[in-house]
Amino acid sequence: MATYRRLDVAFASGRGAWLTDQAGARYLDALSGIAVCGLGHAHPAVAEALAEQAGRLVHTSNLYRIPLQEELAERLTEVTGMERVFFCNSGAEANEAALKICRKFARHKQVAEPLIIAMTGSFHGRTMATLSATGKEEVRAGFEPLLPGFLHVPYNDLSALQLPEAVHARVVAVMLEAIQGEGGVNVPTPGYLRALRELCRRNGWLLVLDEVQTGMGRTGAWCAYQHEAILPEVVTLAKSLGNGVPIGACLAGGAAADMLQPGSHGSTFGGNPLAAAAALAVIRTLREQHLVEHAATCGAAMLARFREQLGAIDGVVAIRGKGLMIGIELERDCGVLVEQALQRRLLLNVTAGKVVRLLPPLVITEQEADQIVATVCLLVKEFCH
C-alpha cells in the first residue's frame, strides 16, 4: 500500500554509522533508522547474539517461562527504576499497554468516565488508542471517530493543567513524551517534568512518560526523565531497545505496577527469546562501552557547534536538543533538505515541516560528528540564503 513516500535509494549493507547502497556508495547515517539503531548497523554484539539464539530457540510463546525475557526485565528495571515490565513489539504497542493500565487504574479508583491528559504536538503511535492520544491533527485526520477520554493541552505549560473542577475530577493520568520527537525535538523547560511529577502526586494521577524515541541512552541518560531525577508510574520503550529487532516494553511502578493481571493483556511475540537476546546485547554494549555517557558529551559538543555556526543565521529560529537528539528549526518548510542531504551522502530527517532532526547512532565518532555538523551547516546556510 502507498503508505510511504520513499526516497529513491536502497541499502545493501551497513557498518557502524555508515550505510552502503546497492551501487556501492556510502552514506553517513544521522538518523539511525529513526532513533532505532543506537549501536549503529551490523553491530557485532547484536549480530552474534541473534545468530547464536536463532540457532538455539527463536520462539515458544508467553505460555511458558522465558529466562532471557526474565533477565531482560531485571536489566530494564535496574536502569529505569521501574518494578514490572510488559513486553511487546513496538512503541505503539507499548503505549497501548500504558493506556490500558490507565483505564484499569480508573476502574480501580471508580472513575466512570476517565480522562487522560495528553499534549498537543505529541506522537504516541498509529493504533486507534495511541492515535487518540496523539496531539497532531494531521496524523489523526480521516480516522474519526477516535477513542473518547483524552484531553489535549499545550506541552511545556503547567498553567494549562489548571482545569475546571468537573474536568479535574475525571483525570486519572498525564501522558507525554519527555522530549517531543515527531513534534519537532521540543525540549521542555528545566523543572517542567519535576513540577508535573509533583502535580500528579498531589492529585493521585499516574504520570506516563513515552520514552520510545528518547530512551536507551539517546539523550545522555538511560531515560530522559532521569535528567530531572524523577520517577513516573509508567514508562514506554521501543525503537533502540533491540537495535532494529522489533521489541517494545511498557514498564510500571508504584500504583501502576500491578494493574495488568493474567487475562487483561497479552502479546504473541512480545519478549520472545530472539528479541530478548538482542535487547540484552544492546544493554550490555551500552554499559561496557559507556555509550550513554558518550551520547551526552558528543551531543553537547554538536549542539554547541551548531549554535556557534548557525545561531546568528537569518532563517534559523531555534537550535535545541539533548544528547544525540538534535533539532534545528527554520522559518519555513525545509523538507527539500532531506533530498539535498541524500545527494551529499548524509541521511537526516525533517519533522514538523520546519525542523531538521538529527538522531545519529550512539557509537558515532568525533570525526563522524564533525562531518554531520559540517554538512548540515552547509545545507542550512545554502537553504536560508
354 is catalytic: no
- Total Cβ atoms within 10 A of residue 189: 10
- With a CB cutoff of 8 Å and minimum separation 6, the contacts of 260 are 86, 97, 100, 101, 104, 252
Task: Supply the Cα-derived Rg of the chain in whole angstroms.
Answer: 21
The position carrying cell 511487546 is 88
Across the beta sheet with 349-351, the strand order is 316-321, 326-330, 355-358, 349-351
123 included as an active-site residue: yes
What are the percentages of helix, strand and coil residues in the chain, rounded to 5? 40, 20, 40
Taking the CA of residue 354 as centre, how many other CA atoms within 13 Å lie in the half-sphere pointing to its CB? 12
Instruction: Name which of 311, 291, 381, 267 is nearest 45 in CA terms.
Output: 291
Among 86, 104, 150, 239, the one annotated catalytic: 239
Look up 210 and say whether it is catalytic.
yes
Q: Say which residues have a Cβ less than 8 Å from residue 96's Cβ, sequence separation at least 6.
A: 88, 125, 127, 129, 130
Please pick, among 29, 86, 210, 354, the residue that the annotation labels catalytic. Answer: 210
Choose, from 87, 123, 150, 306, the residue flagged as catalytic.
123
Helix or strand or coil: residue 230?
A: coil
CA distance 168 to 86: 29
Q: How many residues does the chain have?
A: 385
Active site residue ranges: 123, 210, 239
